[in-house]
Amino acid sequence: MKSPRSLAGSVVLVALAGCSAEESTQTPCGAGVICAGDPDTGVRRDATADRGAADRPSSNDLGVVRDAIAIREVTRIVVDPPTATLTVRDGAPATQAFTVVGTFNDGTTRPLANGTWSMPASLVATADVNTGTVTAGGRAGGVAELTVRVPGPGGVELTATAAVTVRVERAVLVNRLVPDVIAQFAAAPTDDAARRVTVRYPLDRAMIPTNLPAPDVQWEGGAAGDFYRVRIAKPHAQVDGYLQHAGAGFGYHWPVDPEAWRALLESDPADPLTLTVDRWDAAMRQRIAGEPVTLRVARAVLSGTIYYWDLSDGRLMRLNAITGERSLTVANPPPQPSGKGAGSRCIACHTVSRDGRYLSAELWGGDQPGVAIDLTSSELARDPTPTVFGPRDDLRYLFSTFSPDSNYLVVNRGNTMRLLDRATGAVIPDSGLPADHIAHPDWSPDGMSVAMVANTNGTWAVDFNRGDIAVVPRTGTTTFGPPRIVHRGTTEADPAAGSLVVDAHPTFSPDNAWIAFQHGTNSRGGNESTHYPGRLELVGAAATPDAPSLVLANANGSGEPDSYWPNFSPFDQGGHFWVAFYSRRDYGNAQAGTRGTRRRQIWVAAISNRPAAGADPSEVPYWLPGQATGQENMSAYWAPVACRMNAERCSVSSECCSGLCDRGTDGMFVCTPPPPAMCRREGTTCSTTTDCCDGLMCFNRVCGRNPG
């Protein structure tokens, strides 16, 4: 029997990456045997292979190996191929197989089979975790990083990456055009300004949010028989729409395919869109190059509901900001009981509470009764629609504004201001609100002040040609201090606009720091026969009376001033506030848009949330999708979806932001968070982020993706 000392002297020295202690005590790893049990783990112990007889380890008289056993182990890995480009055409998925190649410490290389593959979660592509096959489905283009992980020596994990570029291309043949038309636009273009089409919409350099509905591209130029290619592109996505001028009735427009538009917006989030309309001149058999139009996309998600006045029919409409769906806000307003306008159901001056729940409006015409309506009421469709208060002959007003908690209303009758209890419509006495030559109130989002127009000279709050922007501080729950002027209508930032001396329709920015307003020759914008020039300007809420304002030149556009009645949305996203206003400017062409009609339409402009002194903080606007182009539209108020928050009383689930009305601990039915199985999807309402499905956040009561 060997002594302990002699046994110790014959211990085999083993350094074996990837082997367990248990493995090392079982069947010895002989020449060519893979210690980890898989030839592709990259770890092999060779006792005699790959070396000559002189290099083999020596033995003592009992044949025990004395030298350390040689180890071959992987030291580096790479992905093959290191880069790849997948092109998804017309929605057909594209795939690419990848392998991982290991380099060993003896300099040899070979493919490995036991890597774990992954890609960041995105719409660009997905990777099979076991095989490394990447699939792009065409939902978005861009560049994604593919990563593989392999066990290395000493338990250290080795990683390698590959860059996967995905291009999304889609061709849309409108009205069943034959594919041959695509070849017409493969020819080299001719640059001829006289025969080039003119894009009328979208506007060049407009800024849009990431969830803007697909636009209607409109242009002018060409003749019957011509073909058009509308191309909208980003670095890794391209959509082509092909149309033919079929003669009389051709609209010179293409409502972009929604699925294709969505892929464009999801691709390359930081990059602008480039839009061109090329024309195939059928008579000359030439492709005429179009002038590019650029659209910039802000990392912003705008949702909620826009309430606006259809002036043509005296109706209050609402638009879904995500889908562009249009509907009547109140189908059956209380009718006028008697007098000249007996039977009228017109809704005139209106506002909506900041939580989207309550509507305040004047009925039937000028200086008529006002009402408040609960927009979440399950009886909203009743005839007549039930009201929270009014209409009462002793309660008349024009313009109004809700406190942020919706408990109070500041209302404007004639040239005075009053404070009302929202629940009853009762006038609250001794509020301290101004009682003379005052108009157009707007309560700040923090509830601490009300902006209004002071020093007016008209007989009522609708029509005046002198006015200054003032801020009235809130000194208590139902009391206010004296007004402080922050901009005089006669203070001109632009000496060339000397006739613009009237401030009107102030609106607070979401952070309470800025006030946008209408600056023109009259508080009105005009009517069918009269036009009062007006433009949008911005002033600090704490500014001194004679400080110059910032003219929102990009939002206003060129030519005669023609922008009115701004209202900020509740959103501060993508580095911008977003303001809705109306204008008589042309939207699109004469066939599909409003060109030449001077018809009022609603536009939306982004405004920097960090305005710099002396610089225009606004961007070129976009037309609010979903409007009726044949109607006169104005006075847009943007609010969250009118739904009830968690813990609020409810009768049916559709009233709840969470989508679920259930019995609470007190036995009453209240809005409650939904269970995981019925989490709220993108574009649906929510009370908090916990209501939304994984990956979504609750923005202004709507589930959406984080734009940051």
Strand, coil or helix: 175: helix
Q: Tell me which of 584, 609, 639 is where a domain ends.
A: 639
Q: CB–CB of 99/79 below 8 Å?
A: yes
One-letter identity of residue 167: R
Instruction: Evaluate whether residue 212 is within a structural domain.
Output: yes
Q: Tell me which of 613, 639, 665 is where a domain ends.
A: 639
Residues 290 and 371 in one domain: no
Q: CB–CB of 51/67 below 8 Å?
A: no
Among the listed residues 552, 546, 490, the one whose alpha carbon sits nearest the alpha carbon of residue 517: 552
Cβ neighbours for 183, distance < 8 A, ≥ 6 positions apart: none
Low-confidence ranges of the chain (pLDDT < 50): 1-68
Residues 367 and 439 in one domain: yes
Residues 326 and 445 in one domain: yes
Residues 609 and 662 in one domain: no
Residues 257 and 386 in one domain: no
Q: What is the CATH number of the domain that holds 277?
A: 2.60.40.10
Residues 517 and 553 in one domain: yes
Q: Note the pLDDT of residue 471.
A: 98
Q: Tell me which of 267, 298, 329 is where a domain ends.
A: 298
User: Phi and psi (nearest 5°) for 679?
Assistant: -60, 160
DSSP assigned state of 261 = H
Prediction pTM value: 0.84
Structure tokens given for 555: 């939002």
Element of type H or E holding 93 = none
Task: Give the whole-angstrom CA distance, residue 49 versus residue 553.
Answer: 80
Instruction: Evaluate whether residue 114 is within a structural domain.
Output: no
Task: Give the whole-angstrom CA distance, residue 179 versus residue 184.
Answer: 10
Instruction: Evaluate whether residue 548 is within a structural domain.
Output: yes
Among the listed residues 72, 123, 130, 131, the one whose alpha carbon sits nearest the alpha carbon of residue 102: 72
Q: Which domain holds residue 502?
A: 305-639
Q: CB–CB of 62/10 below 8 Å?
A: yes
Instruction: Evaluate whether residue 261 is within a structural domain.
Output: yes
Residues 621 and 667 in one domain: no
Instruction: Evaluate whether residue 617 is within a structural domain.
Output: yes
First to last CA, the chain: 75
Examine residue 272 and say whether the peptide bond preceding it is cis (omega within 30 degrees of 0).
no
User: Phi and psi (nearest 5°) for 263?
Assistant: -65, -35
Q: Note the pLDDT of residue 493.
A: 56
Residues 609 and 521 in one domain: yes
Q: Is the dihedral of CA 294, 297, 298, 304 positive or negative?
A: positive
Cβ neighbours for 368, distance < 8 A, ≥ 6 positions apart: 336, 348, 362, 391, 396
Among the listed residues 549, 432, 556, 563, the one whose alpha carbon sits nearest the alpha carbon of residue 485: 549
Structure tokens given for 533: 């020039």
Count: domains in the chain: 3
Residues 621 and 689 in one domain: no
Q: Note the pLDDT of residue 226.
A: 97
* Burial grade of 531 (CB within 10 A; 0-12, 13-18, 19 or more): middle
pLDDT digits (tens, 9 = 90+) for 230-274: 999 999 999 999 999 999 999 999 999 999 999 999 999 889 999
Structure tokens given for 705: 């993706």
Q: What is the CATH number of the domain that holds 461?
A: 2.120.10.30
User: Phi and psi (nearest 5°) for 63?
Assistant: 80, 15
Q: Note the pLDDT of residue 496.
A: 61
Cβ neighbours for 434, distance < 8 A, ≥ 6 positions apart: 416, 417, 452, 454, 470, 472, 482, 483
Instruction: Evaluate whether residue 167 is within a structural domain.
Output: no
Task: Give the whole-angstrom CA distance, residue 332 versus residue 51.
Answer: 95
Instruction: Evaluate whether residue 628 is within a structural domain.
Output: yes
Residues 401 and 543 in one domain: yes
Query: How many other CB atoms are there within 10 angstroms of residue 20's CB atom?
Result: 11
Q: Note the pLDDT of residue 663.
A: 85
Residues 291 and 318 in one domain: no
Among the listed residues 481, 470, 475, 381, the one whose alpha carbon sits nearest the alpha carbon of residue 433: 481
673-696 CB burial, b ≥16 within 10 A, e <16: bbeeeebbebbbbbbeeebbeeeb
Q: Note the pLDDT of residue 707.
A: 66
Instruction: Evaluate whether residue 294 is within a structural domain.
Output: yes
613-645 CB burial, b ≥16 within 10 A, e <16: eeebbbbbbbbbbbbeeebbbbbbbbbbbbbbb
Among the listed residues 570, 595, 574, 577, the one whose alpha carbon sits nearest the alpha carbon of residue 585: 595
Residues 252 and 391 in one domain: no
